Amino acid sequence: MSLSPRTWLVPVLIALLGWLLISRENDDPGEFILANNRSSLLLTTTPQRLLDIDDALVSESNPARTDGTFDHERCARLHNYLVAFGWMAHHERGVEDLHELLSQPSFFELERYEGQVPMNRLNPGLIYFLQSIILPTPGGGLFYWVSDVVIHPADEYFYPFEDNNSAKKEHFVILHISWSEIGSHNIGLVIDQKRNQVAMPIAIENLESIAPIHEHLDMWFPLETMLTNWIHMLRIGKVTASSPEKEYPPSNARLGSWVWQSYSPAQVDSAVEAMDRLSAAIEARMPPGSHLSVSRELPLLTDAELDAASIPENCFIRSLLTRVKMPRFKFIAPGLEVPHDAAAFVARQKFTGLPRDPESGTVVPPVLIFASGKRTINFNKEIRWLFFTAHDPVPYTDRDRVPVGLYSESSWLVGYEVAEEGFRLLLPYNLRPDNWDSRGARRSDGSFVSPGSVSELFQHGCYRPFGGEWRAQRFERLMDRWRELVESGVWKVGKNGVKGNIDKFQDADYGDWKDYWIPPGW
């Protein structure tokens, strides 16, 4: 079948004009850009192709670029997928209506406003990206953390961390601005034009987590990696999209078209699979004949047993505990016991079934999943901050002892970025005692655990490289990390499961912090 001249000539001419633009990158593009405001990618895109992006997602078999160049076409496809998905949800439209979205003005067809970086100070790849993208719906936003395409200069934010040795180009540019509703001093998604990588400082306060760059290289990623993580969160249902008139979620959960969910069914699935993998790794290393005589087909706990422990219905931790397979060993980590005795499990719960302040809304209390025998710790301000809302009546004082071990996250369902799928490992001792200033356990963002903390091991830290602040680390990531410690031999396995007691976690303070650290993620 032959193609008409019109079919193939337009993309060729557009590509030629793009090449001419790149060759003139030090000139003021002016009217030239306005005459060439759409790339061949956007001109040849169909509604179905907007959503057909599986081959563009970053994966082990399809990694992001590592040569320092900007994969602008791949990034534009991922960006446009998010815009199309949000547009359909926001306006309650179907795939067949995406022609309307494709006909909307492009970035260069809109009137420039004061504060935007001049085009001759942008790299050619970034200009091509801007020519190839569809702009987010006004009020809808690109994703949960970022609202619009802005192209603002950002070098001033990185002074004195970095020097800009080039008078011709901006070093740092804000590509997508974060929602003003998140707070003041907002920044957003920043691209480093020298290295063609991006970081996500939602606010000025996050800058110390990403700069100087040479000290925070693991907080910068290719743009395609950032967008892939957002699309993954969308596909597993952690973030959803809907019309603002159709769904009214709890306070702080909606930003534009995008709604933050406290957890999703897919997250229960992945957490169950992660714990089952850990159990299988431990059982495979136990001496022959030492497995407990319990059925692996039974759930860890039943609904009736969780009712007795005053655990709410329809929450992440109930879904998890009633679905994971019963481990055939006693210890799942050093000193942490699998709850084979349901009565003992119920008796250990000190934070479920407590009265809560009615104005706090729905609260999912922390559940002690794996206790450390009879080890306890004095109730303190850190535990109070983690397990109670500001106005809850607190029945404990610093003279009361509470059991230690792995707890599920205490979730206030009207809060910002609720993470029911999270956890807190409560230890019977202080990490980084005596206010150490140069060593000890670290969090995912590279920062040290707070001196004297009893709950920050394995946690994110203040900064999440793919967006957000303060939420707890995910349970499934902890299970995968523990499995790696078992498989690598860092943790030894014996006839009762993982050997050692809970004091083993103090190794994080004494030279082995990387064993007790989860790499940065969302």
Q: What is the 3-state secondary structure (H, E, C) of 130-188?
A: HHHCCCCCCCCCCCCCEEEEEEEECHHHHCCCCCCCCCCCCCEEEEEEECHHHCCCECE
Residue 361 confidence (pLDDT)? 80
Task: Identify the burial level of 34 via C-beta atoms within 10 angstroms of its C-beta, where 0-12 means exposed, 13-18 middle and 19 or more buried.
Answer: exposed
What pLDDT score does 159 carry?
A: 82
Average pLDDT for 212-241:
97
Residues 6+ away with beta carbon under 8 Å from 444: 459, 460, 461, 473, 517, 518, 519, 520, 521
393 belongs to a structural domain: yes
Q: Are residues 249 and 354 in the same domain?
A: no
Report the alpha-carbon angle 425-430-435, nearest 5: 130
Q: What number is the average pLDDT over the span 87-91?
A: 96
Task: Read off the pTM.
Answer: 0.91
The pLDDT of residue 265: 98
151 neighbors 117 (Cβ within 8 angstroms): yes
Q: Decide the pairing of beta strands 336-337 and 258-260.
A: unpaired
- At residue 166, the pLDDT reads 60
Q: Which amino acid is at 383?
A: I
Give a yes or no: residue 522 inside a domain.
Answer: no
Q: Do 205 and 320 belong to one domain?
A: no
Q: What is the per-residue pLDDT for 19? A: 46
Query: What is d(CA 231, CA 57) in angstroms, rounded to the nearest whole number?
Result: 9
Write the pLDDT tens digit of every residue in 35-77.
Answer: 467 888 888 889 999 999 999 999 999 999 999 999 999 999 9
Cα gap 160→166, rounded to integer Å: 16
Among residues of the chain, what percentage have pLDDT more than 70? 91
Q: Is 2 contained in some domain?
A: no
User: Rounded to whole angstroms, how far apart are CA atoms 426 and 407?
Assistant: 7
Residues 374, 288 share a domain: yes
User: Mean pLDDT in the chain?
Assistant: 91
Residues 338 and 383 in one domain: yes
Give per-residue pLDDT as tens, 305-337: 999 999 999 999 999 999 999 999 999 999 999
* Cα gap 88→82, rounded to integer Å: 10
Q: Are residues 151 and 105 in the same domain?
A: yes
Count of the separate structural domains present in the chain:
2
Distance CA 92, CA 368 (A): 42
Question: Which band of pLDDT confidence, cut at 50, 70 and 90, is reported for residue 250?
Answer: low
Residues 279 and 237 in one domain: no
Burial class of residue 242, CB neighbours in 10 A (0-12, 13-18, 19+): middle
Structural domain includes residue 25:
yes
Cβ partners under 8 Å of residue 24, min gap 6: 32
Cis peptide before 212 (omega within 30 of 0): yes
Residue 481 gets which letter from DSSP?
H
| Domain containing residue 403 | 262-516
pLDDT at 51: 96
What number is the average pLDDT over the span 164-177? 83
Q: Cβ contacts of residue 28 below 8 Å, gap of 6+? A: 118, 119, 120
Q: What is the mean pLDDT of residues 441-464?
A: 96
Across 74-87, average pLDDT: 98
Q: Over pLDDT 90: what percentage of the chain?
A: 79
Same domain flag for 179 and 31: yes
- Per the CB < 8 A criterion, the answer to whether 40 and 14 are in contact is yes
Examine the fold and report which residue of 207, 232, 259 is the final residue of a domain before the chain moves on. 259
Q: Which long-range contacts (CB under 8 A, 24 or more apart) does 250-254 make?
A: 250/361, 250/413, 250/414, 251/414, 252/414, 252/415, 252/416, 253/414, 253/418
Q: Which two tokens stand for residue 355?
A: 């009265």
- Residue 1 domain-assigned? no
Same domain, 273 and 156: no
Structure tokens at 46: 């169909």
Judge whether 251 lies within some domain.
Answer: yes
> Residue 470: CB partners within 8 Å, gap ≥ 6?
416, 417, 462
Tokens representing 264 are 């999703």
Q: Is the dihedral of CA 355, 359, 361, 363 positive or negative?
A: negative
pLDDT at site 23: 42
Tokens 């209506």 belong to residue: 97
Greatest mean pLDDT among 168-172, 174-178, 252-256, 436-440 lies in: 174-178
Closest listed residue to residue 467, CA positions, set 17, 72, 49, 147:
147
Q: Considering 259, 294, 324, which residue would you say is the last residue of a domain?
A: 259
In this structure, the strands spanning 258-260 and 239-241 are antiparallel
pLDDT higher than 50, residue 6: no
Residue 229 CB neighbour total at 10 angstroms = 19
- In a shared domain, residues 60 and 206: yes
303 and 234 fall within a common domain: no
State the average pLDDT over residues 439-467: 95
Q: Between these two residues, 367 and 11, which has the higher pLDDT value?
A: 367
Res 360: pLDDT: 78
Q: Kindly state whether residues 203 and 294 are assigned to the same domain.
A: no
Angle in degrees, CA 240, 242, 247, rounded to 5 = 105
Tokens 């993309």 found at: 11
State residue 436's pLDDT score. Answer: 79
Mean of pLDDT values over 206-235: 96
pLDDT score, position 26: 40
Question: Torsions phi, psi of 317, nearest 5?
Answer: -70, -35
The DSSP bridge partners found for residue 174 are 152, 190
In a domain, 3, yes or no: no
Question: Is 521 inside any structural domain?
Answer: no
| Together in a domain, 338 and 480 | yes
Q: Which of 259, 288, 317 is where one domain is finished?
A: 259
Residue 39, pLDDT score? 85
pLDDT of residue 516: 98
Q: Which two tokens stand for residue 344?
A: 């003992």
The runs of H, that is alpha helices, within 24-142 are 31-35, 40-43, 47-51, 72-91, 98-102, 124-132
Q: What confidence tier does 252 reach under pLDDT thresholds 50, 70, 90?
A: low
Query: pLDDT per residue over 382-430, tens digit each?
Result: 999 999 998 999 999 999 999 999 999 999 988 789 999 999 999 999 9
Rounded distance, CA 148 to CA 257, Å? 12
**The pLDDT value given to residue 248:** 67
